[in-house]
Amino acid sequence: MSKVIITAALTGSIHTPSMSPHLPYKPDHIIDEAVRCHQAGAAVVHIHGRDPENGKQTADTAIFRKYMSGIKARCNVVITPTTGGSPTMTPAERLAVVSALEPEMATFNGGSLNFALYPVVEKIKEFRFEWEKEFLEGTESFIFPNHFQSLHNYAKTMKIHGTRPEIEIYDVGQINNIAQLIREGFL
């Protein structure tokens, strides 16, 4: 049988705590989920930073450090922190985890796209945290920006810090973007 690599994405970025009671956002819960995923056969866990008080997305490297050290203390899974972050983060904030923690692998988004979850708002009867409704409504006009200048910067930063890119393709056109980066020598 061929080898298969299973990656478990634990929280995602655009999802909010009110969308599912199973969305982990406290460090111990994220660490526990990563260990459970590894025990179930995942070789890689993809993590996003979450404020432990309200589940809001964060680029706080101290939170990522807590996740990564807690997971590594309990299992030998490859940890892939996001460089996608959230719609409210700058490219520098999204890339901070690579510069600060030098993970063995991190996400590398293949290009820009629309990320729209605003229709979910009408399905949620009660929001757990104040930030969620406004955040989800704001996705109606959100474009997840990953232009070539930023992709070049991400590739250079990952190379400097010895972090391998986990290429994420959301749309077939992004395959062309990755091919261009390979031709240019960035990947």
Exposure string over 133-169, b if 16+ CB within 10 A, otherwise e: eebbeebeebebebeeebbeebbebbeebebebbebe
Residue 167's φ and ψ, nearest 5 degrees, are -75, 125
From 98, 60, 64, 81, select the one nearest 7 (Cα to Cα): 81
Render pLDDT for 126-152 as a digit per residue (tens, 0 to 9): 999 999 999 999 999 988 899 999 999
pLDDT at 115: 82
CATH architecture of 7-184: Alpha-Beta Barrel (3.20)
Domain range annotation of the chain? 7-184
Structure confidence by residue, pLDDT tens digits, 154-176: 999 999 999 999 999 999 999 99
Helix and strand element counts for the chain (H, E): 6, 7
5-14: average pLDDT: 90
* 3-class DSSP assignment, residue 49: coil
pLDDT exceeds cutoff 90 at 2: no
What is the reported pLDDT for 101?
97
- Residue 145 one-letter amino acid: P
CB 187 within 8 A of CB 155: yes
Q: Are 130 and 18 in contact (CB under 8 A)?
A: no
Amino acid type, 143: I
Q: Identify the sign of the CA torsion 43, 144, 102, 73.
A: negative
